Structure 1
Amino acid sequence: MKKVSKVFYITVVLVIITVIFGALFPAQFEQITGNIQSFVATTFGWYYMLLMSALVIISIFIAVSPLGKIRLGKDNDTPDFSTPTWVAMLFSAGMGIGLVFYGAAEPLSHYMSDAPTAPVGSDQAFKEGLSYAYFHWGLHVWAMYGVIALALAFFQFRKGEPGLISATLKPLFGKKMNGPLGTLIDVLAVFATVFGVATSLGFGAVQINGGLSHLFDFEVGFTSQFIIIAVVTLLFLISAWSGLSKGIKYLSNTNMVLAVILLITVLIVGPTLLILNMFTETFGMYIQNIIQSSFRTSPLESDNRGWLDAWTIFYWAWWISWAPFVGMFIARVSRGRTIRQFMTGVLILPTLLVGIWYASFGTTAGNVQNSGIDLTQYTTELVLFNTFDQLPLSLILSIVAILLIGSFFITSADSATFVLGIQSTHGSLEPPNMVKIVWGIAQSSVALILLYVGGLQAIQNTIIVAALPFSFVMILMVIALFKALNKESRTIKGRN
């Protein structure tokens, strides 16, 4: 444990204080964080929309500019992982459980409960629900992840800096990043990561519990969720102990295999022609309306501002809070690629996969709803399983979905323990196993406590609040990255 930095101890103390307060005073905690979250969404919604849109423009510019020729590593470095494995790893870390949790439920919600502009339950709301699901999980998300990961990978592998968020700001602040200011920035990143992943683990446990209950009358409640988290924790700690090239690599490939099996099966046994037609039209709607959607702030009372706050602003803040974790993990597995290869892969492939996924599951759920079976009566974690009930091979689909959630669960937690280890050991690319184990147990403990006190909503609010200060760090990272890339480009031209 000699490698452990101050960031580790400070963040552990902050996590403990926050969780104890949430456990002892859950109602007050949720009320306080909820009020702050509402204030942030209402006051800074325009800022989140502009920031995420700017990151899309910046990421595309970097990819097509001469800067794209620069390699994330030394000039003769080659990628550590094959392209299929690389895509699987970044996709598993960047989305994971959320795709299964919301795959059928979000488009259905937009369709039947809270369409952004179209009349609820209309054909237009059906199509609009899919289009906005692509928007919330597509290009903007991956542009943000890509820029943050690019900054981390460039400074880490090209310039030899430690794998820390603070290290990316040295072009602006120099040696100050080695002091208290740098520690503060890294603590914020670690704090956001712990609670972001814990929330995802809570979602995973709830959905696995719901699936087992739906199939096998498994008891729903904290005891069952405790058992699920305990078993999965043991599995991902074994994976974390085995290292990046073994555990996470194999699990990520397993995720992709299970996801492809589930997706193809739904495409075949579901309303295949409708899915293909809906994907073609609604993905076109997404591309056609992306500028309008990107800058939509709903300033007037008639603009359905509540929908924007509950969905788009929530998602943008949610993804920003995950940026330190996902960005650092993507950076770690991307050494050896050129910036153009990196940005193109990060932007295009996951966005297409997300579109196909939501078109398949969202269209199938909407089709079941239109057949006369009301799926809106079920909670979010049960929508998927009740959709499967109306398809051939429903038992097999549900079992594969539960296995996929479990696999995503393990990969997300495994990836997070690795990233947290890096951030709390001065940027070491091979953090000690004991550090990873401590973070793994901490994540699972936070998820369990939150489930016990019913505090998932409160912790989501906390994440949204934490996203605001980190968003300012993101802006500084982009400025520092451009400054460093331009200097590197001039250096390369000088050598040639």
Structure 2
Amino acid sequence: MHITKVFWYAVAICIAIVVWGVFAPDQLNGFTTSVTGVIYNQFGWFYTLVIIALIGFCIYMMFSRFRNVKLGKDDDEPDFSLPAWFAMLFSAGMGIGLMFFTTAETISHAFIKSPNAEPGSEQAILESLQYTSLHWGFHGWGLYAVVALIFAYFKFRVGAPGLISATMEPLFGKKAMRGPVGQVIDTLAIFATVAGVASTLGFGSAQINSGLTYLFNAPDAFWFQLLILIVATVVFIASAWSGIGNGIKYLSSINLWLAVILLLGLFTVGPTTYIINMFVTTIGNYAGNFIQMSFDLKPVNESQRGWVNDWTIFYWAWWISWAPFVGMFIARVSKGRTIREFIIGVLIAPTLVTFIFFAVFGGSALNLEQHGIAKLSSLATETVTFGMFEHYPLGAILSFLTIIVVAIFFITSADSATFVLGMFSTGGQLNPSNIVKIAWGLLLSAMAAIVMYSGGLDGFQNMLIIAALPFSIILILMVVSFYKTIKKIED
């Protein structure tokens, strides 16, 4: 077992935040809120440009002269089948968020606060799926694809350690990146990962609690969410213990099939024609307004700018904070694939699947409120999906299946994260020790619990925004270093 200084630095930071949250939760939440406000107002443009630039770089690489370069040696073959590979990368990249926001975000944009129109109007309803597609489509997956591509190339083609600092050695040299500067970079990556994953564990605990309350009248309280978190922690640590080839692979594959069954079930009992029409219209609106939506920060309207901060900038920060973890995990399971195959699998395929999920779940929710059948916009975010199922046939079965899917997404995201955190804190080992994975699993859950206790969902958002800023700068340096290296090696 090889534990580096980075492990202890990152653990110390996480423990300090946990202790701060236990003894002074209001102070912690107030501090993170004030810092977040500054970042929103001063750096929202920066997040936007970083995300757009990474999408452009991703598409360039797919069609460049490097498109047939293998992520590995020339004779390497993929370690996992195509379905298993896609299931793992999709489960790690989307996880609980997909089930949490498919209905809630769509309803919010249509009937609570719209970016451009009067809530409840025809324009607001049509734009609701258009903007959820913006937040969950190419922008996020393009970011994941670039980060994962860089990790995979350096690890399997160049033979570098599985560390962020190792990807920047061509720019700054081994001495700098294997010394204090590199340790700071890797520590920042770990903190960004912990903040991003802890937020998702909080989302998942809240939605599982909501589902159990809806179905079985379970207590809707912090202590019950904490109990859910504890049970899930035991399960995802056990899964991480078994390794990628066993627990993580099988759980990801099972969950993707369960999610597809849930999707087909709602598509069948829901407003099928309405869903199809909304899906086709959304694709057209998304494609036609892609550039405008991507760059629109609404600088002259304070109310609309607030919407951009609360939704779009938050999402860019969320994706960025998840990029070290998801990128490394996708890289870890992608050895042997060409750059073009890799980008198609990580950028295009997940985006299309995501659009389908939002059309079915979001469209089914929109149909109810548009026609006055249900007031879903009055429900809490984590309850909207279950409130929607109540008005369709087989609602109880679909709700129960949703709880299972959310729980497994919870587990697959967390066990993937513990695996990657183990890699980052043991010098880039492909198979970190179980002791290290257990330590990170416990710390992730402790962070999730304390942020739930201190600030709820607002606390999660604040941590995400703060953690993403330093790593967004690191992302730019990683891309420059990667391009310099691939030109030198492959030309």
Q: TM-score range by the shorter chain?
A: over 0.9
The question of 1:131 aligning with 2:130 is answered yes
- The equivalent residue for 1:118 is 117
The residue identity in structure 1 corresponding to 2:364 is T
2-structure distance, mates of 1:287, 1:62: 21
Aligned residue number for residue 20 of structure 2: 21
Q: Which residue of 1 aligns with 2:419?
A: 418
- The Cα shift of 1:451 comes to 2.4
SS in 2 for 1:103: helix
AA paired with 1:142? W
Deviations 1:427-468, CA, capped at 9 Å, x for gaps? 000100111011111111222222233444224212211211
Do the aligned residues in 1 keep the contact of 2:109 with 2:125 (CA within 8 Å)?
yes
Q: Does 2:367 match 1:367?
A: yes
Partner of 1:319: 319
Q: Please show how residues 80-229 of structure 1 align to structure 2 within 5 Å.
A: 80-175=79-174, 176-229=176-229
Contact 1:93 1:326 in 2 (8 A): yes
The reply on whether 1:291 has 2:294 as its aligned counterpart is: no
Q: What code does the residue aligned with 1:145 have? A: Y
Alignment match, 1:468:
469
Amino acid at match of 1:136: H
In 2: Cα distance, 1:107 partner to 1:212 partner: 23
Aligned twin of 1:493: none
The answer to whether the Cα contact below 8 Å between 2:201 and 2:448 also exists between their aligned partners in 1 is yes
Measure how far apart 1:51 and its partner are.
1.2
Match of 1:263 in 2: 263
What letter is aligned with 1:217?
N
Give the alignment of 1:391-430 within 5 angstroms. Answer: 391-430=392-431
Alignment of 1:72-83 (within 5 A): 72-83=71-82
Unaligned segments of structure 2, at least 5 residues: none
Kept in 1, the 8 Å contact 2:195–2:321? The answer is no
Task: Give the structure 2 partner of residue 48 of structure 1.
Answer: 47
CA contact (8 A) 1:30 1:455 kept: no
SS in 2 for 1:411: helix
- For these two proteins, the number of residue pairs brought into alignment is 489
2:377 is paired with a residue of what secondary structure?
helix
Q: Deviations over 1:208-234 (max 9, x none)?
A: 011000000011112211221121111
Superposition RMSD in Å: 1.1
CA distance in 1, matches of 2:444, 2:375: 36
1:477 counterpart = 2:478: yes
What amino acid maps onto 2:75 in structure 1? Answer: N
- Superposed CA deviations along residues 103-132 of structure 1, whole A, max 9, x for unmatched, are 100010000011111221011111101011
Task: Report the CA distance between 1:252 and its aligned residue.
Answer: 0.5
Tell me the alpha carbon deviations over residues 375-428 of structure 1, each in whole angstroms, 9 at most, x when there is no partner.
111100100000000000001100000000000011011000000000000000
Deviates more, 1:159-168 or 1:297-306: 297-306
Give me the whole-angstrom Cα distance separating, in 2, the residues matched to 1:303 and 1:387: 29
Match of 2:59 in 1: 60
| Matched residue, 2:31 | 32
Cα distance, 1:199 vs structure 2? 1.2
The aligned counterpart of 2:337 is 337
> Aligned AA for 2:2?
K
CA contact (8 A) 2:452 2:459 kept: no
- Residues 322-359 of structure 1: CA deviation (Å, up to 9, x unaligned): 11011110110110000111011111101101100001
Aligned-partner Cα distance in 2 for 1:119–1:224: 38
Contact preservation (8 Å) 2:202, 2:452: yes
Residues 63, 340 of structure 2: 8 Å contact kept: yes
Q: Separation in 1 of the partners of 2:459 and 2:384?
A: 23
Give the Cα–Cα distance (whole angstroms) in 1 for the partners of residues 197 and 27 of structure 2.
23
Return the alpha-carbon distance in structure 2 between the equivalents of residues 371 and 168 of structure 1. 53
Tell me how far 1:86 sits from its aligned partner: 1.0
Q: Counterpart of 2:7 in structure 1: which amino acid?
A: F
Q: Which runs of 5+ in 1 are unaligned?
A: 491-496
The alignment's TM-score, normalised by the length of structure 1, stands at: 0.97
Q: Distance in 1 between matches of 2:257 and 2:18?
A: 36
Q: Structure 2: how far apart are the matches of 1:383 and 1:91?
A: 23
Residue 303 of structure 1 deviates from its aligned partner by 7.2
Task: Letter of the 1:37 partner, please give it.
Answer: T
CA distance in 1, matches of 2:331, 2:102: 27
Rounded to whole Å, the distance in 2 between the matches of 1:376 and 1:303 is: 19
Structure 1 position 207, deviation (Å): 0.6
